[in-house]
């Protein structure tokens, strides 16, 4: 298996990333409760016990409450901070009195968001600040200036991207001197464009493939760590009732359970090991708040499926044989 690209910068980073979008009590404006803080403590303990030390946030998760509850845990137990690599994202703004839902990678918004992230998380620095989505109005020089200032101030150690294709990464790198060490993309068994793009090159059947060519190759070439979000496909292959789903989804779920039995491991481990098998060497982000599921996910690092099994899963999940 290739080394994780992120190890060049953060050598302790775990193979899996814990996604904190589910912490904080829900996407409502109601304040955090004691139960939310208890849950966050328990989940963080389960994640660390599963040897996962990278925590993924965004300023918008649960309208800031995911970071806030995490920050309360760090206030109660400051000794946890040094065991963690914390990343957060900025750049998405919900509709407000100033305008509609929009993306904002202006210098002013990146600076303000980072201050708020640090405050909510109750930490002096974050390890990785990720630009959440490409803002059509972003100016590489303006982004460069603010990232430089954040780095100099010690508030952010490294920077990353999310939902950006290779040309956008390259465009920002025209002016931004710091490397973008991460690109977080939706890659899963139910969102297969990242593989379909390659196998359909030059084939009219690939006209509707939804993934920009060269993005994974660019990441590998530039030591940019690919992190896959949505990697558990919301539980579709790990125990959710699939009776209302198309037959290829049901068959994929069946194959996953066959392999889990063969390798004496969890369903989650097989789903994630399928992603881990890809040579781009990705870091799957897992978003469960269920402690048993978190543990089940951690077994993925101990399983290595064969090339043939990898293709069996892929072909079933795409619902038709390869071209």
Ligand X SMILES: NC(=O)c1ccc[n+]([C@@H]2O[C@H](COP(=O)([O-])OP(=O)(O)OC[C@H]3O[C@@H](n4cnc5c(N)ncnc54)[C@H](OP(=O)(O)O)[C@@H]3O)[C@@H](O)[C@H]2O)c1
Which of 4, 10, 14, 22 binds ligand X (CB under 6 A)? It is 22
Dihedral sign, Cα of residue 234, residue 223, residue 152, residue 172: negative
**Site residues (CB under 6 A) for ligand X, limited to 250-309:** 285-290, 293
| Distance (Å) of CA 192 to CA 62, 188, 238, 272, 319 | 27, 6, 18, 14, 11
Question: Stretches 24-32, 34-42, 103-111, 232-240: which one binds ligand X (CB under 6 A)?
Answer: 232-240
Binding status of residue 238 toward ligand X by CB under 6 A: yes
Which of 36, 39, 43, 56 binds ligand X (CB under 6 A)? It is 56
What whole-number distance in Å separates Cα of residue 296 and Cα of residue 293? 5
Binding status of residue 21 toward ligand X by CB under 6 A: yes
Radius of gyration in angstroms for the set of CA atoms belonging to the chain, rounded to a whole number: 20
Minimum CB distance to ligand X smaller for 158 or for 229: 229
The answer to whether 276 and 283 have CB atoms below 8 angstroms apart is no
Residue of 18, 36, 34 lying closest to 26 (CA atoms)? 36
Question: Stretches 1-9, 107-115, 152-160, 227-235: which one binds ligand X (CB under 6 A)?
Answer: 227-235
Nearest distance, CB of residue 272 and ligand X, angstroms: 10
Runs of H (alpha helix) within 157-298: 166-172, 193-199, 215-221, 247-262, 267-276, 291-298
Nearest distance, CB of residue 4 and ligand X, angstroms: 17
Binding status of residue 184 toward ligand X by CB under 6 A: yes
Nearest distance, CB of residue 22 and ligand X, angstroms: 5
Which residues are near ligand X by CB under 6 A? 19-22, 56, 162-163, 184, 229-235, 238-240, 285-290, 293
């Amino acid at each position: 298996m290739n080394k994780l690209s992120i190890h060049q910068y953060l050598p302790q980073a775990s193979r899996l990333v814990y996604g904190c979008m589910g912490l904080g009590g829900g996407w409502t404006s109601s304040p955090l409760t004691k139960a939310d803080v208890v849950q966050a403590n328990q989940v963080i303990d389960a994640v660390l016990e599963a040897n996962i030390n990278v925590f993924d946030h965004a300023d918008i998760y649960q309208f800031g409450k995911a970071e806030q509850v995490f920050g309360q845990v760090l206030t109660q137990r400051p000794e946890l901070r040094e065991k963690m690599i914390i990343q957060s994202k900025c750049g998405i703004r919900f509709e407000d009195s100033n305008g509609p839902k929009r993306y904002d990678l202006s210098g002013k918004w990146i600076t303000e968001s980072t201050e708020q992230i640090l405050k909510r998380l109750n930490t002096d620095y974050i390890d990785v600040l990720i630009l959440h989505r490409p803002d059509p109005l972003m100016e590489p020089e303006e982004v460069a200036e603010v990232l430089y200032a954040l780095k100099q101030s010690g508030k952010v150690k490294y920077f990353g991207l999310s939902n950006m294709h290779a040309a956008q990464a390259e465009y920002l790198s025209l002016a931004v001197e710091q490397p973008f060490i991460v690109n977080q993309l939706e890659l899963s068994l139910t969102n297969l464009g990242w593989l379909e793009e390659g196998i359909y090159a030059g084939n009219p059947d690939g006209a509707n493939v939804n993934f920009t060519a060269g993005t994974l190759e660019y990441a590998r070439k530039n030591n940019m760590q690919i992190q896959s979000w949505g990697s558990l496909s919301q539980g579709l292959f790990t125990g959710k009732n699939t009776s209302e789903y198309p037959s290829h989804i049901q068959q994929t779920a069946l194959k996953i359970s066959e392999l889990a039995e063969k390798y004496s491991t969890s369903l989650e481990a097989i789903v994630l090991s399928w992603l881990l098998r890809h040579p781009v060497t990705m870091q799957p982000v897992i978003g469960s708040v269920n402690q048993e599921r978190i543990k089940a996910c951690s077994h993925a690092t101990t399983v290595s499926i064969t090339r043939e099994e990898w293709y069996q899963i892929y072909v079933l999940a795409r619902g038709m044989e390869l071209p």
